[in-house]
Amino acid sequence: MKYTIETFGTPCHYQFSNIEDIKVNDIEYGDMDYHELEETFLSDNCFLENEKISVDDDIEFEIYNSNGKILDFSTNDIEQSDDGGDCFTAEPEYNDELKNCLGSVQYFKGGGPIFELETDGEIKIENFKYSCMILELDDGEITLMNNLYYNNKKLENTDFGTSQGSYRFAKIWKHDGDVVEINV
């Protein structure tokens, strides 16, 4: 039988771009608004961009079959898996691949990733696990759900739910250790 698993909580869209010193100066001392900055340096220019749901807030899961909702639970009810974990450090002093890092992080409230599950057996909460991805920033970490597993099999993320923007920030982490906050 086919099932749809919807998630709800705090989705997070992140974009990171590696930029040269001259571009940092253009941004830091120029008259560029956020939308121009995003269009110029982030859209289609990112080396890392994705949208995942925050584990820092509780994630709610709802499972549906063709008859409607059959089960719901939260991250408090399932275990974290060691599989599939990733970490990204935005600060160039700790990430040799970066010259300067321009990053934008936007939080939403509402629907997150939607997964599909096909199984003939009875669905049990204890058979679900999730892995995490960490974004290490100058002022702390953001922990996101990287993957969802059922019976140790990674589930396919097929869509994303509806959500509304709630908070956004943008920064440049410079190779000399300085951090420039950008008005959004």
Answer yes or no: are the C-beta atoms of 134 and 87 closer than 8 Å.
yes
Instruction: Tell me which residue has tokens 């869209």.
Output: 13
Does 51 score more than 80 pLDDT?
Answer: yes
Q: Of the candidates 137, 130, 136, 47, which has an alpha carbon nearest to the alpha carbon of residue 84? A: 130
The model's pLDDT over 129-170, given as tens digits with 9 standing for 90+, comes to: 999 999 999 999 999 999 999 999 999 999 999 999 889 999
Task: Give the integer Cα–Cα distance in Å for 110 and 7.
Answer: 8
- The strand pair at 128-137 and 86-89 is best described as parallel
- Domains of the chain: total: 1
Task: Give the integer Cα–Cα distance in Å for 146 and 144.
Answer: 6
The model's pLDDT over 59-90, given as tens digits with 9 standing for 90+, comes to: 999 999 999 999 999 999 999 987 767 899 99
Which 3 state secondary structure label does DSSP give 109?
strand
For the question of whether the overall pTM of this predicted structure is more than 0.85, the answer is: yes
Does 15 score more than 90 pLDDT?
Answer: yes
Domain range for 21: 2-182
Give 57 or 109, the one with higher predicted confidence: 109
Structure tokens at 90: 């935005």
Which 3 state secondary structure label does DSSP give 99?
coil
Percentage of the residues of the chain whose pLDDT score is greater than 70 = 99
Answer yes or no: are the C-beta atoms of 129 and 61 closer than 8 Å.
no
Structure tokens at 13: 């869209």
Answer yes or no: are the C-beta atoms of 145 and 55 closer than 8 Å.
yes
The model's pLDDT over 106-132, given as tens digits with 9 standing for 90+, comes to: 999 999 999 999 999 899 999 999 999
pLDDT at 38: 87
Q: Of the candidates 142, 48, 141, which has an alpha carbon nearest to the alpha carbon of residue 103? A: 48
Instruction: Tell me which residue has tokens 């919807």.
Output: 6
As a residue count, the chain comes to: 184
